[in-house]
Amino acid sequence: MRYLFRENNNIEKFNKVINKYIEIVELNNNKSSQVLMLVPNNAIKLKYQRNISLNFSEEINITTYIGFIKNELIKYWPIILNNCKEINKKIISPIFISNSLSEYIITDLVSEKREIEGYFQDLTGTNKNIANNIKNNIDKAAFNLIEFEDIGEKLYLSKKNRENLDRYSYTQMNEIINFYINKLLSNSMLDNSISVYLFNNYLMRDKIYLSNLQKKLKYVIVDSLENCSPAEVDFLDLISGYCKDMYMYFNPSRNYSSFNNVDMNYIEENIVNKIQDNSHSIRNVTLEDLYLKTSKIILNQSSQLYSEMIGELCKKIISLINNGEKSKNIAIITPVNNTILDYQVKMILNDYDINVYNTKKDKKFIDYTYANAIVTATCIFYDYLELIREEDYISFIQTIFNVNKIQAFKMFKNKEKDSNFIDILEYIKEKKESNLRINEFIMQFYIDKMLNLNEGKLNVKICKNIIMESEVFTENINLLELDKKKEKEKIFIEALKTTINDFYGTNEIEEFKERDGIILTNPYSYISSNMYRPIHIWVDIGSNAWNMKIEKDISNAVVLKKSFKEKKVYSDSIEESNKKYYLYNMIYNLLQNTQKIYAYKSEYSVNGYIQDSILNSLLLKLVDKGDNSYE
């Protein structure tokens, strides 16, 4: 039996889901392994794991869709090997590659094709931007059950001015996609997209697998139906015929970004409409729905310059704290990650002993001084001296010898004679004679030369991340035979310098939410992590980054949805309608999870251009209509 529950309040839903889960497990004689709970992300998974308390149980089976299918692919890999003809290298278990390696492979291929064969001549974007668009297209196609080879044609046929476009860019994109997919598949290596493809094309069609699935699943709980991709919807539709009961919790207003792998029309057609109670029909968030929200909005449009706006919002935060407000009740929400904003806000508020935690890092590993020191030492170890810039050497000397920049510069200029620098070179030379692998050298260098420095212990995590990444990255480069023209270690260092970003783990983000400090985040992270802070500071509401353009040169998240009709032209009116739809849903969810908003706008953008936005116009309507005000 299928049950569908409309739940708009996250806190109430969370408690109901926990109670339902405990009730079902106890009803099922504490056999929790037969109860599958599907959640949208690892942050929600961790929250449930921390809050579910059972006296007796088996394994607690709470997972994301992608986590579930990866486990199934490992268990039933022989079925894949027997049926998938594209796999040439038969190994006992699939190898899952990191996003950083995936990004490197596609970026390197785009760069090579543009330089040697003149690909993408009509595109002005960087190699990295084009590669990111291609990678996003692969992800969208997989989760929307669209064949990879159809991506280019589907996007091209949606263009309103396709007669004036160079069709070659779309066929060239397909060539790169096919190379990437075949390269990984032939070597039994998978990313998330290929995992979804294999699960749906092989396991979901295999009688033995489906028979085993039917035996092991009795109950299914879906925490957030509105976050399910078409691939996950098809999975739910299938297993609902096998399991005893399925409980789905649904809030269609949480479809707040076109870039999520969600197709609400597909959910409605394949899940909602199949449940007899038609009171569950989906409707869009309207302006009237926003008017009905009780959150108070206070608008500040007094600033001309971006820096003035930052000063104004910092003054407001300081005033709130001085008047007794707790910093853990405040969230600063900005449309995109902005290094200038992060630095200035932290610098100002830290002077008043107010902590600010950014939930997303926009740094590459190499941006950290201790990471730079590790990479510089590794370049010396492998004689990749051409990869070391003068400023890298100076930063390396500053860190290792605990000297200021002027002293480091003098040591660098005299490095052939400086005894301390010569000692480091001798140490590295000795390690090289030991024939160490890259991860082994990094570990030994950090322990011997960096761990006991002033901040050595504080930077252990960064070192560990680089060690783990170096080992897996270089091994996979070797398995893919991408190191024939260039050493795998050199490829890793180049990737570390250009594409591999630092990130917070799920545990760290959950800890931030509990700390006594202000959260600095973006609307998407705030909503997806189910955060609640009673006071919001909305930054730069005049920026169109709050309402990003969906259609791009060779990508379009809406066109690659399962329900988007073949050969339908994606017009300007469709673009504006979709932008409005996602903006209204996003604002609705932010208003739902706070009590008071201080919204700040500057006349000029951070780059010095006059700006205005749909969000600003919307907030003006809400301020004029409701119990809101201007500062």
CA distances from 360 to 266, 295, 338, 364, 504 (A): 31, 26, 10, 12, 7
User: Residue 166: inside a domain, yes or no?
Assistant: yes
Check residue 365 and give its pLDDT: 67
Instruction: Yes or no: say if 180 and 105 are a contact pair by the CB < 8 Å rule.
Output: yes
User: Residue 84: inside a domain, yes or no?
Assistant: no
What CATH number is attached to the domain comprising 52?
3.40.50.300
Residues 24 and 67 in one domain: yes
Angle between helices 614-625 and 572-592 (to 10 degrees): 50
Alpha-carbon torsion, ordered 441, 446, 450, 456, to 10 deg: 160
Give pTM, 2 decimals. Answer: 0.91
User: Residue 82: inside a domain, yes or no?
Assistant: no
Residues 510 and 493 in one domain: no
75 C-beta neighbours (distance < 10 Å), count: 13
562-580 core/surface letters (b: 16 or more CB in 10 A; e: else): bebeeeeebeeebbeebbb
Residues 374 and 418 in one domain: yes
Check residue 296 and give its pLDDT: 94
Instruction: Yes or no: say if 58 and 156 are a contact pair by the CB < 8 Å rule.
Output: no
Check residue 340 and give its pLDDT: 77
Residues 519 and 622 in one domain: yes
User: Residue 90: inside a domain, yes or no?
Assistant: no
Residues 373 and 479 in one domain: yes
Reported as a single tens digit per residue, the pLDDT across 137-181 is 999 999 999 999 999 999 999 999 888 787 899 999 999 999 999
Coil/strand/helix, residue 225: helix
User: Residue 85: inside a domain, yes or no?
Assistant: no
Check residue 628 and give its pLDDT: 62
Q: Give the Cα-Cα-Cα angle 280, 283, 285 (nearest 5 degrees).
A: 130
Coil/strand/helix, residue 101: helix
User: Residue 609: inside a domain, yes or no?
Assistant: yes
Reported as a single tens digit per residue, the pLDDT across 331-362 is 999 988 677 787 888 889 989 999 998 887 66
The low-confidence residues of the chain, meaning pLDDT below 70, are: 276-281, 337, 361-366, 501-510, 512-513, 626-631
Check residue 13 and give its pLDDT: 94
Q: Which residues on neighbouring strands pair with residue 220, listed in sequence order? A: 36, 246
Q: How many domains does the chain have?
A: 4
Residues 69 and 211 in one domain: yes
Which residue from 371, 421, 378 is spatially nearest to 401, judged by alpha carbons?
421
Check residue 362 and give its pLDDT: 60
Which residue from 276, 335, 401, 257 is spatially nearest to 600, judged by alpha carbons?
335
Residues 422 and 523 in one domain: no
Helix (H) or strand (E) holding 72: helix 65-75
Q: What own/partner pairs with CB < 8 Å and gap ≥ 24 does 375-381 have?
A: 375/466, 375/493, 375/496, 375/497, 377/424, 377/428, 377/441, 377/442, 377/445, 377/449, 378/438, 378/441, 378/442, 378/445, 378/489, 378/493, 379/493, 380/425, 380/428, 381/428, 381/431, 381/432, 381/441, 381/445
Residue 341: domain span: 288-361+506-630
User: Residue 88: inside a domain, yes or no?
Assistant: no
Q: Give the Cα-Cα-Cα angle 536, 41, 465 (nearest 5 degrees).
A: 95
In the block, tokens 């100076």 appear at 394
Check residue 161 and give its pLDDT: 87
Residues 215 and 264 in one domain: yes
Q: Which residue, 197, 222, 247, sits at the end of a domain?
A: 197
DSSP 382-439: TT-GGG--HHHHHHHHHHHHT--HHHHHHHHHTTTT-HHHHHHHHHHHHHHHTT--HH
Q: What letter would DSSP give residue 365?
A: G
> At 421, phi and psi to the nearest 5?
-70, -40
Distance separating alpha carbons of residues 618 and 608, to the nearest angstrom: 23
Q: Which residue, 165, 197, 229, sits at the end of a domain?
A: 197
Residues 170 and 63 in one domain: no
Residues 237 and 295 in one domain: no
Distance separating alpha carbons of residues 176 and 127, to the nearest angstrom: 13
CA distances from 437 to 143, 381, 382, 400 (A): 37, 11, 10, 22
Distance separating alpha carbons of residues 27 and 35, to the nearest angstrom: 11
Q: Which residue, 280, 306, 328, sits at the end of a domain?
A: 280
User: Residue 621: inside a domain, yes or no?
Assistant: yes
In the block, tokens 């400090």 appear at 517
Q: What letter would DSSP give residue 349?
A: H
- Mean residue pLDDT of the chain comes to 91
Residues 437 and 379 in one domain: yes
Residues 428 and 482 in one domain: yes
